[in-house]
Amino acid sequence: MRKKLVAGNWKMNKNHPEGISLVKEIMAGSESLQKENACWEAVFCPPYFLVQACADLVKDSAHFSAGAQNCHPADQGAFTGEISARMIADMGASNVIIGHSERRQYFHEDDVFLLEKLNAALRCGLKPIFCCGETLMEREAGTQLSVVEQQLAATVFRLDPAAFQSCVIAYEPVWAIGTGLTASTEQAQEMHAYIRKLIEGRFGSEVAGQSLILYGGSCNASNAASLFSCPDVDGGLIGGASLKAADFISIIAAAAAHPGGCQ
Ligand code: PGA
Q: Output the CA 237–ligand 1 centroid distance in Å.
A: 7
Three-state DSSP class for residue 18:
helix
Which of 134, 172, 192, 258 is catalytic? The answer is 172
Q: What pLDDT is recorded for position 261?
A: 62
How far, in whole angstroms, is CA 120 from its chain's centroid? 17
Is residue 260 within 6 Å of ligand 1 at its C-beta? no
Residue-wise pLDDT tens digits, 36-88: 888 999 999 999 999 999 999 999 999 999 999 999 999 999 999 999 999 99
- Cβ–Cβ under 8 Å, residues 189 and 230: yes
Q: Output the CA 160–ligand 1 centroid distance in Å.
A: 29
Is residue 217 within 6 Å of ligand 1 at its C-beta? yes
Residue-wise pLDDT tens digits, 201-247: 999 999 999 999 999 999 999 999 999 999 999 999 999 999 999 99
Q: What pLDDT is recorded for position 180?
A: 85
User: What is the distance between the alpha carbons of residues 203 and 145, in angstroms, rounded to a whole number?
Assistant: 19
Residue-wise pLDDT tens digits, 175-204: 999 898 899 999 999 999 999 999 999 999
Q: What pLDDT is recorded for position 38?
A: 85
Is residue 239 within 6 Å of ligand 1 at its C-beta? yes
Residue-wise pLDDT tens digits, 12-40: 999 999 999 999 999 999 999 998 888 99
Three-state DSSP class for residue 171:
strand
Q: In terms of Cα–Cα distance, which of 104, 120, 96, 100 is closest to 44?
A: 96
State which of 5, 6, 9, 96 you would mutate to test the pocket of ligand 1, scoring each by most atoms of that ligand within 8 A of its C-beta: 9
Q: What pLDDT is recorded for position 147?
A: 98
User: What is the distance between the alpha carbons of residues 182 and 178, in angstroms, rounded to a whole number?
Assistant: 9
Q: In terms of Cα–Cα distance, which of 174, 182, 109 is closest to 148?
A: 174
pTM: 0.97
- Model confidence at 263: pLDDT above 60: no
Q: Whose CA is nearest to atom 1 of ligand 1?
A: 239
Is residue 236 within 6 Å of ligand 1 at its C-beta? no
Q: What pLDDT is recorded for position 124?
A: 98
